[in-house]
Structure 1
């Protein structure tokens, strides 16, 4: 497969999971990793992993495995996650603060460039390296800082307003941490993360 071709949803999802494992493996000091080790961490069959990776070239050797750094770089190229991407976080509460304080985004080249909230008591509060800004300034700040990704970390009843503000500011990718079903234009990608749904998925395979 040519890396310029658009990936299927399934392949993109699996490559993202491989990327997560490889990032952690590198932090653990693992120079090499086998498809079987990746399989154990992802619950994806090792044969499927080798098939996915071989579609983009020869990255490993039988019996030796993959060079962690090299494979990590190649998957980032395939997923087009090289360089830095600026993100806006809406919600300066406990969830938003936890997200802003986590290194996980920076590990993947994603920079939290702005934090917004509607609560006057939160505006101006320091969260990590940033101070929370007013939602009234979201359009100007998103333009100035070239932000195309937004993360919603507010209660469900406030999520649609947050999404509308992000979209009006030019954001094209919205990651929704609330349970709300968002109404967005067709050209905006929305990804919703719900821990309860993930737990139900895991429980199904344990209980059946």
Structure 2
């Protein structure tokens, strides 16, 4: 933004000097000067719009990456809890949610992320794929302790990435998954149970 403003000021000053030193003498020269100024203003406006679009795209990619990290934190907590409770139903539901979250993480445009964001998304994608592979190998009667240990060991890494990106993990409980809000307040209904 500042660079475009400096270029615009320099162009105006330069045109002012040229007009002062070689003032147009006829209507044709005035028309040429007006057209030149219009072209320069259009170029500067286009550069400004392109700069704003790039910043907006980068902010959107960072937002998707932050949501991906927050959702990964939530689902790994839920998977660790399901293993602690030895609940196969909860485990299977949250495995499916992890697959959805991984697809959300693939939506983050890696070209638009800076170094830290790129490293975070790449690392979290790797953790999610590794967890899905571990869960695919689960037998009929899972080793709940080993599975819980797997998720518990990954949680500090996810929390570290969240904190490093300026988004400390939420502690609002089991309804903090972005996209699967379950409280009645989020749906516009009553908060009291029916």
Q: Same fold (TM over 0.5)?
A: no
Higher strand share: 1
TM-score, with structure 1 as normaliser:
0.28
Q: Which of the pair has more CA radius of gyration?
A: 2
TM-score normalised by the chain length of structure 2: 0.29
* Higher RCO (C-alpha 8 Å, min separation 6): 2
> Going by fraction, where is helix more abundant, 1 or 2?
2
